[in-house]
Amino acid sequence: MANVVVVGSQWGDEGKGKIVDWLSNRADVVVRFQGGHNAGHTLVIDGKVYKLSLLPSGLVRGKLSVIGNGVVVDPHHFVAEIEKLSAQGVNITPEVLMVAENASLILSVHQELDAIREGSNTGLKIGTTKRGIGPAYEDKVGRRAIRVMDLAEPDTLKIKVERLLTHHNALRRGLGLSEIKTQVIVDELMQVADRILPYMGQVWRLLDEKRRNGARILFEGAQGALLDNDHGTYPFVTSSNTVSGQAATGSGMGPGAIDYVLGITKAYTTRVGEGPFPTEQNNEIGQFLGEKGHEFGVVTGRKRRCGWFDAVLVRQMIKTSGINGIALTKLDVLDGMKEIKICVGYELNGKKIDYFPASMGAQQDVKPIYETLDGWSDTTRGARTWAQLPASAVKYVRHIEELIGAPVAMLSTSPEREDTILVHDPFQD
């Protein structure tokens, strides 16, 4: 049995929630390995909607769920999300949920700094969710973060907070803000310490034991590979690595633990926030895709930017994430379009290129080169076999496979879990 990593191959919002839920039914353990509560997953089970942004999706299915060391954890949101799911009838106990003792915490000082930066009239706007994710990762790499395990040591917590505030109060003075007293942060943490500590554990040890015992582990990525801090559209990216390699680092396992990488890929392209988007359609096509696809952020409610499928970007992310196969989602949104375009290359300064450049200036200047395919009038929604798909839809899917250099392992034709065409089960790799 294989261990599977699920990553988004675009800018996030590819429909990972449904696919992760579909796969979690076959998994024994579900692991979050990066990000925070800035990216949401929506699950629809028997008509009931569950919205998660920090907790692993496997919890809804009663699977052992793990928050790895690569995640930054807002302890107050952690408690609130548990309460929300519990109110929906999901049974959450330390027997089914573990959070890594060495995961870094998001504090109120991080959220305030994030909001101030994003709301400033000067500097570069990234389009963050203002939830403190970036500043928390900054403190982590700056070796001054407060970690989950620190909540269990109240006698030394004050010293650690003082060290953190030496940095933050200097920043606050420069921004013309009042300084924060150490006790304020200590009290903030102590309010929820008793609620989070029962879930704390050695994730690396647990996952090693499960793997040795033959458990099937599903690594659940948040956001998309194009938001990766190294390989994405920098600086319009998130503050963590979102490619599949982070699954090992962010959970305390070696790279040999990864057997199959599934890239969730939307049949068109969307993006939330600022940054380059070569195939964006600021016209009736973009409006059609947005309205029919219900393209609004789970966490923020922000309207997503919409455009044609970009095979160049997806092909590049397939290489940087080592994607073995894709799950193509939201094909039904394209139903009824007379013609559909796919970006197959770019033009930059009069030259054709087959990759997305790393430079911010070049990313803004590339112009898409399109191929045009026939659309289809019949519906693909709810199809569960290839035979139920219109011929033009099958042609579209097959052409995507050729252009990106990876096969379609799964094809999703509606938000419902059962409306899925399975070509290859990643757990059987």
Active site residues: 13, 41
Annotate 33-78 with three-state secondary structure: CCECCCCCEEEEECCEEEEECCCCHHHHHCCEEEECCCEEECHHHH
Coil vs helix vs strand at 308: coil
Residue 180 near residue 168 (C-beta atoms within 8 A): yes
Residue 316 near residue 278 (C-beta atoms within 8 A): no
**Residue for token digits 């092909």?**
315
Beta strands in 239-316 (DSSP E): 260-266, 269-271, 305-307, 309-310
- Residues contacting residue 128 through CB under 8 Å, at least 6 positions apart: 38, 114, 117, 118, 134, 273
What is d(CA 11, CA 216) in angstroms, rounded to the nearest whole number?
27
What is d(CA 148, CA 152) in angstroms, rounded to the nearest whole number?
8
Phi (first) and psi of residue 82, to 5 degrees: -60, -45
CA 147 to chain CA mean position, Å? 22
| Beta-strand pair 305-307/269-271 | antiparallel
Of 229, 253, 49, the C-alpha closest to 141 is 229
| Beta-strand pair 309-310/420-422 | unpaired
- For the CA atoms of the chain, what is the radius of gyration? 22
* Cα dihedral across residues 136, 139, 141, 147: positive or negative: negative
| Beta-strand pair 367-374/339-348 | antiparallel
Burial class (CB in 10 A: 0-12, 13-18, 19+), 40: buried
